[in-house]
A and B are shown apart, each in its own frame.
Chain A
Amino acid sequence: MENQIEVRGLTLDFRTPRGRVQALRDVSFSVPKNQIVGIVGESGSGKSTALWSILGLLPSNAEVRGGEILFGDRNLLQLGEEQLRAVRGEQVSVVFQDPMTSQIPVLTYGQQMLDILYRRPNLPIAEKRKMAVDMMRRVGIPDAERRIDQYPHHFSGGMRQRAGIAMALLMTPMLLLADEPTTALDVTMEAQIIHLLRALQQELHATVIVVSHNLGLVAELCDEVVIMYAGEIVERGDVRQIFYNAQHPYTRALLECDPARVLKRSRHLPVIPGEVPDLTAPPRACVFSPRCSRVMDVCRRTKPPDYEKSNGQIARCYLLSEEHGDPDWPPRSDVITVYRGGPSRGGAVPRGDALDLPNSTAVSAGDVATPLLEVSNLCVRFRIAGALAARLRGIQDPHVDAVLNASLTLNPGETLGLVGESGSGKTTLGHAILNLVKAPSGSVRFDGVEVLNMAESKFKPLRRDMAMMFQDPAGSLSPRQSIRALITEPFDIHGIQGRDKDHEAERLCGLVRFPRAFLSRYPHELSGGQARRVGVARALALRPKLIIADEPTAGLDVSVQGEILNLMSELQQRHRLGYIIITHNLPVVRHISDKLAIMYLGRIVEQGDCDAIFTEPAHPYTEALVRGVPRPDPEHRRTLVSIEGEIPSLARRPKGCDFHTRCPYAQDRCRTEEPVERPLSDGRRVLCHFPLFE
């Protein structure tokens, strides 16, 4: 098959104050025509850098040390700026990660698209406009003729991404580059965009390179896959080969760590220990050797070459070589190669072993009598406009209901997953429980005591028992305080004296495995994972009974998110902590929760046992969510999109059932009558007229 584009031996450095970062080292791969190739990697892998090199859109401190990028009959790296510009937009185009920031806010889409079409000076404007409207329609934007004259801020996230795709495809480029095209989108939107990209690629016979860290996306979309680690390509091959018969230990480990692939629910998720090496001084030997579970002496001495197998798969690992190779490598796909929670260290440990802690340890007989937390009919309202402005704009009620009639129960030692997309109100609910936001009605009982809207002075002692872990780890730490000060602050605030604060700080560090030497550092000097550990330490300082964790794995690579989760799990075991995990990450929450509560537009639409919800969702929205997560399994690609449409705005709540505008099962009654919560036979509760399960 002919290649659309070929990258050979690309080597690139970044000149930084810290030194030269060798971001790409001898990167080579080819992209056949009309295929979709995925570049997979975690943070620091260089995948985005490789992508931007194709178009020459690198920051000014980037320096290409060698290699070529062959496109057609030209080497793109040797082209001057003028020539590159001729290529951009016309032959090679880009879909960006975040549609909210990558579209200029002061021009309409129509104007932007006309600008892009400047290369067709012979076309009259009317023609150009027609082309633009056509493309908008093709990407699924309704009412395209009218909406093309609107500004980006009129479009919601998913629509903006569609528009971004339209702009990229306007000149029908031969090659389309997509940089994390769904990362910034909600789950249900992600599914739509994947479907759209697949359809468009086939229609337009385009070649696509997708960069992503999301294995599910890659499995659903790509024909071939390239795996990158720390600036090198460690494996390449056909998508099925990679997913079912990965050759490189890193690829293998990555697949094993992905919570969506760990089929049996487990409290302990696999992790690749250690960190990505510092690229100012990359190891001369195999780049993955410090973290590899199958490392051999030769791996630490010299860099392995690329070994090609008969089926075309290529991996950079000595395990494939004649002399050092292991004929039993790779093992069967149900064998774990990475370290898991538990004393064993790799080898053929079958899944579902005794290391899995039974999920119902926490909810054993005992304290079920007094639940730790009981929330009933909690409501939170926000004002969106002043009285005068509201009247002028003709808005009847200047309030939005961020949380509406939410009820849930949590027992000690239990984990409740609070799941929803953006605007679902899950974070607000968490804040309301902790008295950080006023709630006009409802009840929150903590340890039997009513705490809703309690005066801060009375509530303060309770804060020792209820703690929060925040979504943005470094952002939730006051920038000018040392870590030591931040960790010991809870003691200061609650006036606890007589305790050696240094001792406490060290104890907490040990508990969360945070290196003691870093206590004198400042938040901006920590990595994401370290900052999160500090967050855990702070939450634990006063031995709380309840911890509300807001997106505990956001921003963490898949191979290391297990560390935090395993830590939390272990702490829960030891201290019988109750957790409320607020997240939109379904694969993760499936493993760590006992119960789930699914939220949509401020209401809890389904709640109950986690397993039950995942195996047989009762609410159509839950079904959409569960089925909407891309499965990292190329053999099980979805042919249907889960649901259409977008999340309505809180200010324009649909009449009747909130979800009826998007529900594939909606009936007349749903459009007019609000559903009432009803129990199901297995103890779950659901808010629907016609649940999918009784």
Chain B
Amino acid sequence: MSVKPSDSATGMPAIDSTGLAGDVRQRTVRETAGRERREKLLLFLRNGQGMFGLILILLFFASAIFAPWLAPYDPNQLDIPVRLSGPSWDHLAGTDQLGRDTFSRVLYGGRVALKVAAIGVSVSLLIGVALGMLAGYGPQWLDNLMLLAFDTVRAFPTIVLALATVALTGPSLGMVLAIIIVTLIPQYARMARTSTLAIRSTEFIVAERSLGANTFRILHRHVMPNVIGPLLILAAMDVPVVVTIEAGLSFLGLGVLPPTASWGTILNEGYLAIRDTPSLVIAGGIPLVLTTLGFTFFGEALRDIFDPRLRKGR
């Protein structure tokens, strides 16, 4: 260990914290940062749940994106003679009331799910975070007003809200999306608001204010990065929720309209034919279950890794 010559100002030998000479320290610092990232990755890979979830998610994406190439039949192609048949080599998952190939419909249903998930989650995330940070950092009356609005929306069980709206507008995919977005926003907004409020009175925000930072800077550089992490995990966990809502609403006939294939409509048709051809509800349900499981396991693994309690700095 090298002892540097003393600093003439105070006569104190400047043995610095690590006791190492210059270059070695430089290398060590870079290594440390890289090591941390690798540690996280390793943690994730070792997490069986997370890997399993990731595989399922990739499966979902792949099947949805490549559906046109993977599907053996056109999903809307009718073939009455073979209607309501069980699984066979011709039709891997059987056919529905109109003889359409269930397997192909399932693949195309995934596209609907993907679309709904992507739009639903991203739009509500953006709006929710903005509203939440505003509520947390702005004046008290704004906060109270927003809380009231959020609580009102949350008072409606999702399905009930959807039913009430459909009673007036009639079913459509757009309406389903709207309901999803409206239902999800309060969740993100609440979370963003809580984080913003908590951060608002922390010492480092006071420190920033003492330096003269203005509100925008504080929100953008200091509040946002601390808030975004848990929110993204929540977003990942919300994908299965969104997909489920769409499927549920379509199942009830409130969402996607026939003849479009959606996992929900497949289940609907399956339910109507449940005594004769059970394969339909199974075929329609499996991809839904796999997708929701996948995202849920993945989200849980992410949460475990990024849990601040488990990350102790030094």
Contact = CB atoms under 8 A, between A and B. Distances in A.
Interface in B214-251: 214, 217, 221-222, 225-226
Given A273-B15, A476-B203, A520-B33, A342 B10 contact: yes
Contact of A275 (B17, B213, B221): B17
B27 to A, nearest CB: 9
Given A436-B206, A470-B207, A525-B314, A530 B17 contact: yes
A489 B313 contact: no
Contacts of A275: 17, 19
B283 to A, nearest CB: 46
B39 to A, nearest CB: 8
Interface in B1-47: 1, 7-19, 22, 25-26, 28-30, 32-33
Contact of B29 (A481, A517, A566, A570): A517
B192 to A, nearest CB: 16
B42 to A, nearest CB: 11
A526 B204 CA distance: 15
Given A343-B11, A463-B212, A468-B210, 18 more contacts: A339-B12, A431-B206, A464-B212, A471-B203, A472-B203, A476-B203, A476-B204, A480-B225, A481-B221, A489-B211, A513-B16, A515-B18, A521-B29, A521-B32, A522-B313, A525-B32, A529-B17, A566-B10
A572 B249 CA distance: 70
A460 interface: yes
Interface in A295-347: 339, 341-345
Contacts of B13: 273, 339, 345
A538 interface: yes
A527 interface: yes
A489 B214 CA distance: 12
A633 to B, nearest CB: 28
B33 A345 contact: no
Nearest to A291: B15
A232 to B, nearest CB: 20
A477 B314 CA distance: 16
Nearest to B209: A436
A515 B211 contact: no
A273 B210 contact: no
Contacts of B12: 271, 273, 339, 341, 566
12 contacts: A268-B10, A273-B15, A274-B19, A275-B17, A341-B11, A343-B8, A345-B13, A431-B206, A460-B212, A489-B211, A522-B313, A524-B314
Nearest to B229: A480
B222 A478 contact: yes
A605 interface: no
B202 interface: yes
Nearest to B18: A515
A490 interface: yes
Contact of A517 (B28, B209, B212, B221): B28
A419 B253 CA distance: 72
B11 A467 contact: no
Nearest to A430: B210
Interface of B: 1, 7-19, 22, 25-26, 28-30, 32-33, 202-204, 206-214, 217, 221-222, 225-226, 313-314
B212 to A, nearest CB: 4
Contacts of B1: 290
B114 to A, nearest CB: 31
Q: Closest 3 interchain pairs by CB? A: A524-B313, A343-B11, A463-B212
Contact of A515 (B7, B17, B213, B314): B17
A527 B17 contact: yes
A520 B29 contact: yes
A344 B214 CA distance: 48
Contacts of A431: 206
A683 interface: no
Contacts of A521: 29, 32-33
A490 B207 CA distance: 11
Interface in A262-290: 268, 271, 273-275, 290
Nearest to A569: B10
A527 B28 contact: no
A689 to B, nearest CB: 38
B300 to A, nearest CB: 21
A164 to B, nearest CB: 26
Given A274-B15, A436-B206, A527-B17, A570 B212 contact: no
Identify the interface centre among B19, B29, B33, B207: most chain A CB within 10 Å of its CB.
B207
Nearest to A344: B11
Contacts of A529: 17
B22 A517 contact: yes
Contact of A476 (B22, B206, B213): B206
A339 B15 CA distance: 13
A479 B221 CA distance: 11
B118 to A, nearest CB: 27
A392 interface: no
Interface string A445-465: 000000000001001100110
B16 A463 contact: no
A434 interface: yes
A471 B202 CA distance: 12
Nearest to A485: B221
A515 B207 CA distance: 22
A494 interface: yes
A470 B212 contact: no
B9 A570 contact: yes
A436 B33 CA distance: 35
Contacts of B204: 475-479
Nearest to B225: A480
B11 A339 contact: yes
Interface in A351-398: none
A538 B11 contact: no
Nearest to B224: A480
A493 interface: yes
B212 A526 contact: no
Given A493-B217, A494-B212, A566-B10, A470 B206 contact: yes
A518 B313 CA distance: 14
A464 B212 CA distance: 8
A39 to B, nearest CB: 25
B11 A463 contact: no
A569 to B, nearest CB: 9
Interface in A523-546: 523-527, 529-530, 538
B203 A475 contact: yes
A570 B8 CA distance: 12
B314 A436 contact: no
A343 B6 CA distance: 9
A287 to B, nearest CB: 14
A494 B213 CA distance: 8
A479 B226 CA distance: 8
B10 A341 contact: yes
Contacts of A513: 7, 14, 16
A468 B207 contact: yes
A463 B15 contact: no
Q: Looking at B10, B29, B209, which has the most chain A CB atoms within 10 Å of its CB? A: B10
Contacts of A494: 212
Contacts of B206: 431, 436, 470, 476
Contacts of A271: 12
A486 B240 CA distance: 39
A621 B72 CA distance: 89
A463 B25 contact: no
A481 B224 CA distance: 12
B231 to A, nearest CB: 14
Nearest to B27: A517
A517 B28 CA distance: 9
Interface string A425-446: 0000001001010000000000
A117 to B, nearest CB: 35
A493 B12 CA distance: 35
Contacts of B314: 524-527
A199 B288 CA distance: 71
Interface string A232-276: 000000000000000000000000000000000000100101110
